[in-house]
Chains A and B, each alone.
Chain A
């Protein structure tokens, strides 16, 4: 797994949590608070929180199969660009293209919709998934803030 590129980041935060579902809410609120400096619209914040929630939920639900593990969230900001990386160190994804397909889920019995990656793609400006079986997964997302304001002025 690639390491965080701290030297390129104007400012950043790093957060680590145990892979427990009760932490999902905490993570998205922290990331939203970090993004507040970009003067986001309510819509931008809602999109960011939902995408982060999807990535963290994937890590908690799929990476460790209910065993112990950690999720690391690295967020960096450069002008109006916010980059979010969600790292897990679990079982990895064998077929990333298939995992990203709408409605594909490995846990239909838990009423998972299989729409997590589709929502991340729709609500963020860029999405990259890197994974190695047995080593873990990194979801990298980019969001550009203030796009609507630029068009209006």
Chain B
């Protein structure tokens, strides 16, 4: 899995590409954890457009980042969800707490 990090003012955008499972979840966790500890990052936008696979490891690692961002008063958004990945996150209850947008620009406009 590839993780691309982009800063847009106080927003950190994470673009995920490839397969998100137990084996690759740590790559996502560690790169984002490290970046969120830096000054200036408040909100997190997770772009999953490039994901070709996700299982329940995705629920755990996204929830972990949600807690990390929320603790510091920031917001989390997800964009680029397909139907199958949406079902998985829905089962994990994530869609009740994290807003979903069609793309990064819409997420950027809606986050404060």
Contact = CB atoms under 8 A, between A and B. Distances in A.
Interface stretch (B5-13, B58-66, B99-107): B58-66
A129 to B, nearest CB: 16
A90 interface: no
A43 interface: yes
Contacts, number: 64
Interface string B60-104: 110110000000000000000001100110011000000000000
A135 B23 CA distance: 25
B55 A54 contact: yes
Report the interface size class on chain B: 20 to 34
A contacts with B: majority SS: helix
A113 B23 contact: no
A46 B84 contact: yes
Interface in B32-63: 53-57, 59-61, 63
A49 B63 contact: no
Interface size of A as a range: 20 to 34
A57 B22 contact: yes
A53 B64 contact: no
A62 to B, nearest CB: 11
Contacts of A22: 23
Interface in B7-35: 19, 21-23, 25, 29
Given A111-B63, A111-B64, A113-B56, A21 B92 contact: no
Closest 3 CB pairs of A and B: A113-B59, A21-B23, A113-B60
Interface of B: 19, 21-23, 25, 29, 53-57, 59-61, 63-64, 83-84, 87-88, 91-92
Interface of A: 21-22, 24-25, 28, 43, 46-47, 49-50, 53-54, 57, 60-61, 110-113, 115-116, 118-119, 122
